[in-house]
Structure 1
Amino acid sequence: MRTRLTDLLGCRHPIVQTGMGFVSGAPLVAATSGAGGFGIIASAAMSLDELRATIREVRRRTDAPFGVNVRADLPDAVERIDLLVRERVRLASFALAPQRDLLRRCADGGVLTMPSVGALRHAEKVTGWGVDAVLVQGGEGGGHTGPVPTTLLLPQVVDAVEVPVVAAGGFFDGRGLVAALAYGAAGIAMGTRFLLTSDSPVGAAVKRHYLEASVTDTVVTTRVDGVPHRVLRTPFVEALEHSGRVAGLVRSIRHAGAFRRQTGLSWPAMLRTARASRRGRELTWAQTVMSANTPALLRTSMARGRPESGVMPAGQVTGLIHDLPSCAELIDRIMKEADDRLAALSTAR
């Protein structure tokens, strides 16, 4: 299936695997890209050396193109972009709005850019800066999300911008791909669906939590890092939701200390990261500290297999997922379903 997205990225199918912290490493990204989709490395919790090693490991596993998600507010964001240029990575995606100088640096180095947006005004802003594509995530999507559902946000953005639009939030099968194309998107992006594959590194206990969840078993909270964040309901998340300001700050500092020990960062370095994350956002200091150490909460659940003690970003679509195919099986299934759906529509009377 050829679209503007496959032409731009050089992949066979218009299916993107989003960058998910402690999930989207070399095995998952290589499996996605090798199956004809487009995998994206989640680099926010990696050092520069770890990111370089991950890029080269993906290349060892497949010669298919892939991308890297870069957190634009990290102190070393420029160095990360320079690494992508040197390693000739196809695409840089951004979960937070990138600075214009980062976009110029990518363009000058031959790296394509695709920010994620959750509002029409954000799409208009970044496309005015010269990005190559935008990923539009509706409110039902996992992780950081906005209030507008995909079925309303997607046509808004498609009508307003000229670059290829990738639809995210609520997609898991071939019917969704055809629906996104009908709205004018050039492809779909999926996080939760790729997390729930046999190629995903997430432990069995964590996957079981996702598979057992219903479409109402997620919650949008600002208590994780100050920004609306859709996650699975867990006792830990419920405690965050109901803790007072002082208790929230104490809890945040405790987790920040754990993150500092895990990463080797100094307290001054963590404070610099906290200040960067607070810039331009009206956050309490409890939320700011949580923002700086959110990776520790993700690591606890996603990498260490302790779902009761961490945070598990999840789209509402988790309630419609009941199996763990390989990435190749999943992509093949989606494309067959899409072909079947298009054939049925073309013969409808």
Structure 2
Amino acid sequence: MRTALTDLTGVRHPIVQTGMGWVSGPRLVTATGRAGALGILASATMSPEQLRSAVREVRSRTDAPFGVNLRADAGDARERVRIIVEEGVRVASFALAPSRELIAELKDAGVVVVPSVGARRHAEKVAAWGADAVIVQGGEGGGHTGEVATTVLLPQVVDAVDIPVVAAGGFHDGRGLVAALAYGAAGVAMGTRFLLTSDSTVPDAVKARYLAATVKDITLTSAVDGLPHRMLRTEMVAALESAGRLRSLSQAVRRASHFRRISGLSLPRMVRDGLAMRHGKDLSWSQVLLAANTPMLLRSAMVDGRTDAGIMASGQVAALIEDLPSVAELVARIMAEADEALAALLDPYAAHRHPQDRTAAPGPSGAEGTPVDPPPDDRGAVAGPSGA
């Protein structure tokens, strides 16, 4: 399936596996590339040295195009951009809108720049600054997310910019891909669906928690770092939502101390990172510290398997996911479902025909054949497009 996204990035299928901290490592990105989709390494939970090593590991396993996700507000963002350029990474994506200077630096090196946004004005801004494409995440998406649903935000952005738009938030199958294409998107980006594959390194107990989740188990909360954050409702989330300011600060300091030992970051650096993530919000000091060590809270669940002590970012679509296919099986299934959905749109009554009659019906391209009347509805009359 050729779209503006596949032409831009060189992948076979218009599907993007998003950069998820502690999840989108070399194993998942390699599997995604081999399956013909675009895998994105999550660098926010890696040191610069680990990022360079991860890029080289993926390249040693596949020659498929892949990308790296960056935090535009990180203090070492420019150093990470340099690594991307030096290592010849094909795509750079950003969790927040990058500066005009970072976009220019990457584009001058031939890197495809694809920021993620949650508002039309942000898409217009990065497009004006030279971004090659944009990932638009609606409120259904996991992690930090906005309030506007994908079905409202996506057409807004498609109509507002002249670069390829990739739809994110609420996608997990071929029907969703076709729906996104119908809105004018060039493809879809998925996080939770790729997290729930056999190629994901997330512990089995954590995957089981996701698979058991219902729509009511997936919440949008600001208790973690003061910003809207969609995740599974866990013991940790409940504790943060019920804790007062002093208790929250005590918990934040304790977790920050643990994160410092693992990450090697100084407390002043953590505070600076936390303040950078405020984005003009009036956050408490506990939220500033939690914002800085959110990676630690993610690690507790996604690496250590501590569903009671970590946070589990999740799109609402987790409530629809029931299996753990390999990435190869998932991508192949999505594309087969997309083909079936497109065929059904072009010939909506095919499923009701006798198999021997289906070949006689006109094909999608208008090829000659013997039309077959659609089945009558319950009242004996053929239902038209308007239901008349």
**Fold similarity call, TM over 0.5:** yes
* Cα distance in 2, alignment partners of residues 147 and 72 from structure 1: 21
Q: CA deviation at 1:272?
A: 2.7
Gaps of 5+ in 2: 350-388
TM-superposed CA distance for 1:279, in Å, is 5.2
1:230 aligns with 2:223: no
The residue aligned with 2:303 is 303
1:263 is displaced (CA, Å) by 1.2
Q: Structure 1 vs Structure 2: percent identity of aligned residues? A: 64
Q: Report the more deviating stretch, 124-133 or 29-38.
A: 124-133
The letter of the residue matching 2:268 is P
Whole-Å Cα distance in 2 between the matches of residues 250 and 98 of structure 1? 33
RMSD: 1.1
Deviation at 1:243, TM superposition (A): 1.2
Which consecutive unaligned segments of at least 5 residues does structure 1 have?
Answer: none
Q: Structure 1 residues 163-172 or 223-232, which shifts more?
A: 223-232
Task: Report the counterpart of residue 184 of structure 1 in structure 2.
Answer: 184
Partner of 1:291: 291
Q: Take 1:267 and 1:142, find their aligned partners in 2: how far apart are those partners? A: 28
Larger % of helix: which? Answer: 1
Q: How far apart in 1 are the matches of 2:109 and 2:243? A: 46
- Deviation of the 1:275 alpha carbon: 3.1
Aligned-partner Cα distance in 1 for 2:227–2:278? 11
Aligned partner letter, 1:168 = A
| C-alpha distance in structure 2 between counterparts of 1:281 and 1:60, whole Å | 42
Q: Distance in 2 between matches of 1:104 and 1:206?
A: 40
- State the SS of the aligned residue for 1:278: coil
Q: In structure 1, the residue corresponding to 2:224 is in which secondary structure? A: coil
Corresponding residue SS for 1:39: strand
Matches within 5 A, 1:232-247: 232-247=232-247
Per the TM alignment, residue 110 of structure 1 is displaced from its structure 2 partner at its CA by 1.3
CA distance in 1, matches of 2:78, 2:61: 27
Does the 8 Å CA contact 2:271/2:288 hold for their aligned counterparts? no
Following TM superposition, by how much is the alpha carbon of 1:280 offset from its aligned partner in structure 2, in angstroms? 3.5
What residue number does 2:205 align with? 205
Displacement of 1:59: 0.5
Contact 1:38 1:67 in 2 (8 A): yes
Structure 1 segment 161-176 matched on structure 2, within 5 A: 161-176=161-176
**Larger displacement relative to structure 2 (42-51 or 124-133):** 124-133
Equivalent residue letter for 1:107: K
1:239 is paired with a residue whose SS is helix
What is the DSSP-based 3-state SS (H/G/I as helix, E as strand, rest coil) of the residue aligned with 1:68? strand
CA distance in 2, matches of 1:138, 1:266: 35
Asked whether the equivalents of residues 32 and 38 of structure 2 are also in contact (C-alpha less than 8 Å), the reply is: yes
Q: Report SS of the residue matched to 2:277.
A: helix
In 1, Cα distance between equivalents of 2:311 and 2:16 = 23
User: Quick check: 1:216–1:316 contact (8 Å CA) kept in 2?
Assistant: no
**Contact (CA 8 Å) 2:171, 2:317: kept in 1 or not?**
yes
**Cα distance between partner residues in 1 of 2:20 and 2:70:** 11
Q: How far does the alpha carbon of each residue in 1:230-277 deviate from its partner, in whole angstroms, 9 at most, with x for none?
A: 000001101111111222122111111110011122223223322332
Q: State the AA in 2 paired with 1:244.
A: G
Tell me how far 1:348 sits from its aligned partner.
Answer: 2.6
Matches of 2:42 and 2:176, distance apart in 1: 24
Return the letter of the residue paired with 1:320.
Answer: L
User: Could you give the per-residue CA deviations for residues 182-202 of structure 1, whole angstroms, max 9, x where no partner exists?
Assistant: 000000000000000000000
Distance between the aligned counterparts of 1:278 and 1:136, measured in 2?
Answer: 21
Counterpart of 2:41 in structure 1 is 41
Q: Which residue of 1 aligns with 2:4?
A: 4
> How many residues of Structure 1 are paired with residues of Structure 2 in the alignment?
349
Aligned residue number for residue 218 of structure 1:
218
Shift of 1:84: 0.3
Match of 1:341 in 2: 341
Q: How far off is 1:219 after superposition?
A: 0.8
CA distance in 2, matches of 1:43, 1:330: 24
Q: Residue 93 of structure 2 corresponds to which residue in structure 1?
A: 93
Corresponding residue for 1:262? 262
Once the two structures are overlaid, the 10-residue window that deviates more, 150-159 or 279-288, is 279-288
